[in-house]
Amino acid sequence: MSEGDIRLVGLVKRYHDVTAVDGIDMHIPAGEFFTMLGPSGCGKTTTLRLIAGFERPDDGKILLDGNDMSRTPPHKRRVNTVFQSYALFPHKSVHDNVGFGLRYQRVTKAEAERRVQEACAMVRLQGLEHRRPGQLSGGQQQRVALARALVLEPPVLLLDEPLGALDARLRLDLQVELKRIQEQLGVTFIYVTHDQDEALTMSDRVAVMRGGQIEQCAEPRELYEAPATAFVANFLGASNLVPVSVTEANGDGARLGLGSFTLRAETCALPAGADAVAMIRPENVRLEEHGSQGENRMPGMVEEVVYLGFHQEVRVRLATGTLLKVDVPNEADAIEPEQGDPVSVHMPPKHLRVLAADAAVPAAHTTAAVEQVPAA
């Protein structure tokens, strides 16, 4: 059996009267690239620090391959961390930074040397071994931090926003590299980020967190296409959240009331009579000529057109007053909507998802991706 299976059972962490982690149950099988995603203060970093051992849980268990390690001090835990701040030792060379932890493993000098060289090669740091961290760029420092943790061959690697301090271009490069290393070594990665793109591109599974709890845990595609809650839909990518009421619900789907209009959705988990929001991604809304007939079509007026290169974002004010965001690709024969044009929007039933209304998530007016807040 391969190592690196992590199970969190009813994990709780409180700071005075603030509950940072509020009863998390989670299973991360060995070798998975698992991401905890959420806004600042959602408890993702605290959860990671609990797994690393920097904080003591108030309740619950942390099982690594079946053994509870919640009472084990960090230096005896077989997990290693890559910090957002890198946390390199400024007085030691790259070589000595990478070799730091090997002293606590039973390896010969020659073996230690070989592993340091290997780790440096894996993160492409050859030739820089004798530099001090202060003489390296941000990206290089991050590689040292990675090598320093990986050289110990931990079954689980914890990464706390490791790319948070790097510029966009470097982030993309390192994302690819991280994924490559993770697949090559088969190590369990537990990755914390507030960047949805990072989460979607690298992860096998993503847990979206909110208020110390897990809102939804699923594969990236499912998370994006079938968000379980309005919060997840709103946090991941752009979405239209239209407040509706469920007028009829059965196995085939539901009928939704929006003003005097009726929409049909193919799936609906809510009972009739419930207050709900209908979620549809801007790229799934079709813009049609004014007056076109058929189900799930509503008249509206173009309020604003934003040119974004390969597509344009068209904001349509529906007859009910709701503002709907529509992504129109810039194809050769696309219609060119202009401000003030009357149009008809088509919301295909299979793309319309019915979610429970959530007071904390702004609906009615469509919202863009949640503002990126640095540091959790």
Partner 1 sequence: MSTTAPSVQAPAVPRTATWRERISNPWGRPRFLAITTWLYILWSLLPVLLAIRFAFNSGRSRTSLQGWSLRWFWEDPTLSVFNDPTLQQALKHSIELALIVMVVAMPLGTALALGMRRWIGPGSGVANIVLLLPLVTPELVFAVGMFLLFTTAFGFIGLGTTAQAIGQVTFTLSWVVLIIRGRLATIGKDVEEAAADLGAPPMHVVGRVLLPLLVPAMAASLLVAFALSIDDFVVSQYLASGADTTTVPMRIYSQARGGPTPALNALATIMLLVSLLALVLAYVVFRALTRGEQSDRGSAFKQLATDLG
CB of 59 to partner 1, least distance (A): 21
Tokens of 267: 């799936």
For partner 1, give the closer residue by CB, 59 or 89.
89
DSSP 351: G
Q: Give, as ranges, the residues between 66 and 85 that touch partner 1 (CB under 8 A).
A: 73-76, 79-81, 83, 85
DSSP 93: -
Nearest to partner 1 of 33, 86 (CB atom): 86
Amino acid identity for residue 158 in this structure: L
Backbone dihedral region of 354: left (phi > 0), alpha (psi from -120 to 50 degrees) or beta? Answer: beta
Residues touching partner 1, count (CB under 8 A): 28
Query: Which residue, 143 or 210, is less far from partner 1 as judged by CB?
Result: 143
Tell me whether residue 133 or residue 237 sits nearer to partner 1 (CB atom): 133
Q: In a 3-state reduction of DSSP, which class is residue 86?
A: coil
Of 149-178, binders to partner 1 (CB under 8 A) are: 149, 152
Tell me which residue of 291, 295, 304, 286 sits closest to 345, measured CA to CA.
Answer: 286
Q: How far is the CB of 50 from partner 1 (least distance, A)?
A: 13
Beta bridge partners of 80: 157
> Given candidates 2, 10, 104, 290, which one binds partner 1 under the rule CB under 8 A?
104
Distance of alpha carbon 241 from alpha carbon 334, whole angstroms: 25
| Token code pair at residue 234 | 């709103």
Binding residues among 27-56 for partner 1 as defined by CB under 8 A = 52-54
Q: Which is nearer to partner 1, 146 or 276 (CB)?
A: 146
Contact status: 148 vs partner 1 (CB under 8 A): yes
Radius of gyration over alpha carbons of the chain, in Å? 24
The one among 66, 134, 294, 340 contacting partner 1 by CB under 8 A: 134
Cα distance between residue 226 and residue 88, in whole Å: 41
Determine, following the binding rule CB under 8 A, whether residue 14 of this chain makes contact with partner 1: no
CA separation for the pair 20, 18 (Å, rounded): 6
Residue from 132, 311, 317, 346 touching partner 1 (CB under 8 A): that is 132
Identity at 131, one-letter amino acid code: R
Binding site for partner 1 (CB under 8 A): 52-54, 73-76, 79-81, 83, 85, 87-91, 100-101, 103-105, 132, 134-135, 148-149, 152
